[in-house]
Structure 1
């Protein structure tokens, strides 16, 4: 980190779908992001270590270990790290209620923002019918997606040599696929309904690798994206502003939602 790359400090950071152990993981971008963004609480919203891919073919370069080491160092140095496992790292769901060193493991979590709004934090595979009802269809879709992401990695290496900015092939295809858009809309509606049914103000999830920060039907829908292609995260500033950060596209390109008028103060976190 250079002198011109001052660290930004946030109340909360959410990241998910880093898929460490997958050769397409953008570990170097992720490490740079974490080095330049300090926080009080870091949420790891599932699919952090891709145990599925590692069971097929081991891939654990130094850059992936460097990310894990950095997160553990954050936890050791007083950052509250909350791990909410996903469907690619399901083993860690067996450790719910325990700690991995200084890292807490929860199946889901309710985070209270500085302005009093409460957000359900969950990976999101519970809103995915393909996982729930058809393992074969999910496997087929997962392998097709892996092929696209692999092509995306090589394409962007070529673009970088030409001095061109990062560009997501998968994101481009999703926008043009009616089936993909229908799936995303259904996922979002299920997530929003879950938050509303629980009397919460919003939901933070990952899983579908489609970053979004928006108030929909009076409910905050927050998807922090992924670190296979979009390299995105969501942050909460000290005044309660939410920002969706696209890191690789153009460093610190952001979508912002301002805080609500502060409610009566409550404890910082509840579970």
Structure 2
């Protein structure tokens, strides 16, 4: 099979070391694509989770090795650490194994759009409702992942394909949607304040390509539940891919085929 060629791919929130990391799906995605520039937009290794207990199956080892060897295959790799891999942030501006480490940067698309790229934890204070609310949110998300894990084990055992029940439930929760709106606006405001055309981020595990009053907001999703990547082709067109089947990827949003959703 001929590999699909992308000018740019953004991946975030892989959470290697977490029991819900979908390393097998991401490995399959990387085996089906060629990438000129890859941005690893934070929370690649879940150091928080690993500090509580060590979990590192062979699939996680294979995926980390694959990411580290992409530069030898001609891919430029830039790593922008987030909150779950915060210790790497102190190496901002340095390079290791031909991988550049940056806290944030500006990416220029093939059609000239200038996009701020960062994980997004920089806006936690603007978005968070308070320490108690954040703690409750973390516990609720852990429960969602637990339910999502066992639901999909049963679904696949019955011959179905993976489906993010956690993402579906989150979309129905008012407080979660309010938090996502606040986060989206904080990211867009940061791009506008710098005179940029848009922003690419991760952090909240909700893939989306949205126009907010003329500024492009792109969230590349995660690999705990949605298994999404943000891609750019050689015309500068952006799309989100959800790679939830090793047999057939499902395109969620394709900017070249459907209008970008607008948020007033």
TM-score using structure 1 length: 0.89
Q: 1: CA distance between counterparts of 2:85 and 2:36? A: 24
The CA deviation at 1:134 is 4.2
Look up the match of 2:189.
193
Q: Comparing 129-138 with 60-69, which one deviates more in the overlay?
A: 129-138
Q: Does the Cα contact within 8 Å between 2:147 and 2:166 map onto a contact in 1?
A: no
Distance 1:124 1:232, change over 3 A: same
SS of corresponding position for 2:147 = helix
Equivalent in the alignment of 1:112: 108
Q: For residues 255 and 120 of structure 1, what CA distance do their matches in structure 2 show?
A: 20
1:151, distance to aligned residue in structure 2 (A): 2.0
Aligned to 1:73: 69
| Residue 222 (1) aligns with residue 228 (2) | no
Aligned pairs for 1:1-150 (under 5 A) are 5-129=1-125, 134-135=130-131, 137-150=133-146
Per-residue Cα deviation, 1:232-271 (whole angstroms, up to 9, x for no partner)? 0100001111111011066132312249xxxxxxxxxxxx
Residues 40 and 80, structure 2, Cα contact 8 Å, conserved in 1: yes
Aligned CA-pair RMSD: 1.8
Residue 191 (structure 1) shift: 0.8
Structure 2 portions without partners, runs of 5+: 258-264
2:260 is aligned to none
In 2: Cα distance, 1:61 partner to 1:198 partner? 42
Q: Does 2:254 align with 1:256?
A: yes
Match of 1:263 in 2: none
CA shift, 1:135, in A, is 4.6
Name 2:208's counterpart in structure 1: 212
Q: 1:96 to 1:183 in 2, by over 3 A?
A: same
- Match of 2:234, SS state, is coil
Bigger drift between 134-143 and 155-164 goes to 134-143
Residue 179 of structure 1: how far off its partner (Å) = 0.8
SS class of match (1:128): helix
Q: Where does residue 155 of structure 1 map in the other structure?
A: 151
Per-residue CA deviations over 1:125-177 (Å, capped at 9, x if unaligned) read 12223887845543442232122112212211110111222221221211111
Q: CA deviation at 1:6?
A: 2.7
List structure 1 runs of 4+ shifted beyond 6 angstroms. Answer: 130-133
**In the alignment, is the contact (CA less than 8 A) between 1:18 and 1:47 conserved in 2?**
yes
